[in-house]
Structure 1
């Protein structure tokens, strides 16, 4: 019933909108859109080597073994589709573009022979390579880990940075719906030891340069949205993601492998994921070479029109970047990075909720829970929303539920910023063992934006009270919550 109502709501939105202004995001994918998949998902088992002074072989450390992998061999649904063809709802930045309103369909229009059910990493890679940029639905059942091969019977740890970077990553092309299917016990599909890449920053030719090519395109008066290397129209839903353990990070403080990375991607909808370090948190690395995870879900390198909704982020340090650089990224990020965060539950995520550069970010009805007093480093809260260089943020009706944090410390800890061009924050509730319950309104002392830096989301959305968020978000967020 929930999905039927959502589909009806999307249909109603389309009927109410100017039909000429609503674009199926699949039509934005041109024939020139490149596939970036061939180099990924293929192991090379190379030996660790130092690269540009980083990734020293001495820093290599295999991931701790998981207590169990929950592989599957059968489809509990019998192959019957329920929500897989559903388009993304229209209540976020993903449903917009410079050309007007957009319906993100992912692979919802896939032919029957482009609907795949996969049980291991090799089947997932094969499905992507066969379908290419055609609309495709990939249904994940059980447990995917690219370190396993031969139908999940042979395990080999990543041997180096290069082996993990390429052999441990899956690149999703345009017009893809990637969804997890709950098992008979209601447990969601799970992915471990694997990075998901949506898009990539490419040059126009094998001998070109991604930065100079894009700058020349703009200098020639061409529309940046027509630059032919975008990945568009992607939906990811209902999967538990364990962010990958980096076997050979850059150094002791900086890992490389992310959980999910959007890079030069547009019109992307990500919902009902549970993302954490799983059974291999950084603390298992000990006091030396201690950083083994990078971002959980990063939106970078000019990506645009993205919504991250109804997910759970837990037990992870560097949770989310929107924009991964300051002035050096203006050529790709200025005027882009429109991202919505709604209905997410941050529970034991350490920091970057998100850290935002350049982004015009709308956050509403999120639940942020944590502890600044816990001795468990893997879940200790260090910092929340961080508005940085040339960002412009609108925060509405969050619920902050903490231990160890005083209400007088919220500004500067849970909500902070500098060098932004716009920041508005209102309607929140804060509870803590140190402060009881308090309403939080206003700008945390920051001057409100003026002139062109004041904006209103172009999409409709239902704003709940902060009080409602405390129960509504845990009831609906995360993997396994879809019927």
Structure 2
């Protein structure tokens, strides 16, 4: 076993978890209890969303003592994931872990990845539309150098989670900055009690042919569930940290976009429960299904439950759905005055979205018709949703505002895997106090 990796006996007692749902007087049922086993060995409660279908998601709950690891940097995290293959394992994150870091865990800057003479200044000069034009994507030596630099960063930033793993934060402040957690083609994974921040791309690509004015396109999400099944993501916080999109410069008239999504579920992923998380201050938030042309992979899969999550000041994709049977209930969607807002639910190709019993807190002038956005001809169920404390028919509001893009009612299925349903008027208090890292029960 790698010498730099310590086992759980190095920290005998987990301290600091707030368990805020109880501490502030919210009723005990405000957050699901995980059978009293403690957060590290907790399993998904019976009936708690799609990840509980035909059994449970247990992660690393059956790990033997020699497969419980405490990690403090990226190298230790990767070593823990690689040790013992797919044997059940518990990986405990302590403190702040940086994805963009050297072998000792010290954070590094983008310049450390630069290859073959790449600099942003040279790239901007070479592909300025006044020089390069707008009819072709960049090519040539500097684009090749950008691509080589991007691949070098990707080797550091992408971290792959094996099957039968529980990844859990210790205490209130476990944080992963600048790493993209890849749950890729595996099964039975639990991720809990971690703040994921600022998974940024040092080398966005300029594409002048993307849309009418061109766009900067970036890689990396904080968390990706790709082709995997039985995944429970609970009581985490996702955001851009100290690098919000709103603070980025514009080049060629377009935002220099260094972030992609916060959390995507794609490529045939299935049986996923996303509960009691905070997703905040971001543009493209969550995709469930990444392409209209992925029906062969995604049809009959992408069964996802979203409940008791706080989506705060996210511009779009909360989520955007293709193909999947998605149950989204008891979530709180917040848009504050002045924050960018495009839409909440994106209705995509062959989607079967049920959006019920949710609460929306939005500025008084926000057009309720924009909460739903029709991308493709797909029906949905959207009952018992409340906007600013008043019951609102979201489909009727959308259809009144977009008479040429009517949405049809009826997702064609009825969710059964719900442990409880809170009244939408109670959801803001319950979710705002109980969601996010540091607030998981069982600490």
Question: TM range, normalised to the smaller chain?
Answer: 0.7 to 0.9
1:195 aligned partner:
180
Confirm whether residue 474 of structure 1 aligns to residue 427 of structure 2: no
Which of 145, 164, 171 is equivalent to 1:175? 164
1:283 touches 1:290 (CA, 8 Å); kept in 2?
A: no
Cα deviation 1:82-140 (Å, max 9, x = unaligned): 310110123101112xxxx1210001100110000111111111111113211100000
Confirm whether residue 77 of structure 1 aligns to residue 21 of structure 2: no
1:122 touches 1:146 (CA, 8 Å); kept in 2?
A: no
1:340 aligned partner:
305
2:14 touches 2:170 (CA, 8 Å); kept in 1?
A: no
Gaps spanning 5+ residues in structure 1: where?
A: 1-73, 200-229, 432-436
2:150 aligned partner:
161
Distance in 2 separating the partners of 1:322 and 1:293: 17
1:241 touches 1:274 (CA, 8 Å); kept in 2?
A: yes
1:249 touches 1:292 (CA, 8 Å); kept in 2?
A: yes
- Give the alignment's TM-score, normalised by structure 1: 0.70
Which of 197, 201, 204 is equivalent to 1:242? 197
Distance in 2 separating the partners of 1:282 and 1:442: 29
Cα deviation 1:388-424 (Å, max 9, x = unaligned): 1110111111111011534xx212x112324243301
Confirm whether residue 145 of structure 1 aligns to residue 98 of structure 2: yes
2:177 touches 2:196 (CA, 8 Å); kept in 1?
A: yes
2:217 aligned partner:
254
Confirm whether residue 303 of structure 1 aligns to residue 269 of structure 2: yes
After superposition, the Cα gap between the structure-2 partners of 1:188 and 1:386, relative to the gap in structure 1 and judged at 3 Å, is same
Cα deviation 1:308-362 (Å, max 9, x = unaligned): 1110011110000001110x21110111110111000011111100011111110
1:93 aligned partner:
50
Distance in 2 separating the partners of 1:78 and 1:242: 23
4+ residue segments displaced more than 4 Å: 78-81
After superposition, the Cα gap between the structure-2 partners of 1:332 and 1:465, relative to the gap in structure 1 and judged at 3 Å, is same
Confirm whether residue 392 of structure 1 aligns to residue 349 of structure 2: no
RMSD, matched Cα: 2.0
For 1:283-298, what aligned pairs fall within 5 Å after superposition? Answer: 283-288=246-251, 290-298=256-264
Distance in 1 separating the partners of 2:72 and 2:349: 42
2:189 touches 2:232 (CA, 8 Å); kept in 1?
A: yes
Cα deviation 1:178-223 (Å, max 9, x = unaligned): 00011xxxx3200011100001xxxxxxxxxxxxxxxxxxxxxxxx
After superposition, the Cα gap between the structure-2 partners of 1:448 and 1:254, relative to the gap in structure 1 and judged at 3 Å, is same
Distance in 2 separating the partners of 1:297 and 1:131: 27
For 1:360-439, what aligned pairs fall within 5 Å after superposition? Answer: 360-371=325-336, 373-374=337-338, 379-406=339-366, 409-411=367-369, 413-431=370-388, 437-439=389-391
> Secondary structure of the residue that 2:294 maps to in structure 1?
helix
Distance in 1 separating the partners of 2:58 and 2:233: 12
Shift of 1:265: 0.6
- Give the alignment's TM-score, normalised by structure 2: 0.76
Confirm whether residue 464 of structure 1 aligns to residue 429 of structure 2: no
For 1:318-329, what aligned pairs fall within 5 Å after superposition? Answer: 318-326=284-292, 328-329=293-294
2:235 touches 2:438 (CA, 8 Å); kept in 1?
A: yes
Distance in 2 separating the partners of 1:136 and 1:369: 36
Confirm whether residue 123 of structure 1 aligns to residue 76 of structure 2: yes
After superposition, the Cα gap between the structure-2 partners of 1:340 and 1:78, relative to the gap in structure 1 and judged at 3 Å, is closer
After superposition, the Cα gap between the structure-2 partners of 1:387 and 1:131, relative to the gap in structure 1 and judged at 3 Å, is same
Shift of 1:281: 1.4
Shift of 1:442: 6.0
Cα deviation 1:364-399 (Å, max 9, x = unaligned): 00000013x51xxxx422211111111011111111
2:56 aligned partner:
103
2:144 aligned partner:
none
> Secondary structure of the residue that 1:467 maps to in structure 2?
coil
Aligned residues: 355
Distance in 2 separating the partners of 1:330 and 1:83: 37
Q: Structure 1 stretch 248-257 or stretch 388-397: which is displaced more? A: 248-257
After superposition, the Cα gap between the structure-2 partners of 1:254 and 1:405, relative to the gap in structure 1 and judged at 3 Å, is farther
After superposition, the Cα gap between the structure-2 partners of 1:476 and 1:396, relative to the gap in structure 1 and judged at 3 Å, is same
For 1:439-458, what aligned pairs fall within 5 Å after superposition? Answer: 439-441=391-393, 443-444=395-396, 445=399, 446-449=407-410, 454-458=412-416
Shift of 1:250: 2.7
> Secondary structure of the residue that 2:155 maps to in structure 1?
helix
Question: Which one scores higher on RCO, CA 8 angstroms, separation ≥ 6?
Answer: 2
After superposition, the Cα gap between the structure-2 partners of 1:415 and 1:153, relative to the gap in structure 1 and judged at 3 Å, is closer
> Secondary structure of the residue that 1:299 maps to in structure 2?
strand
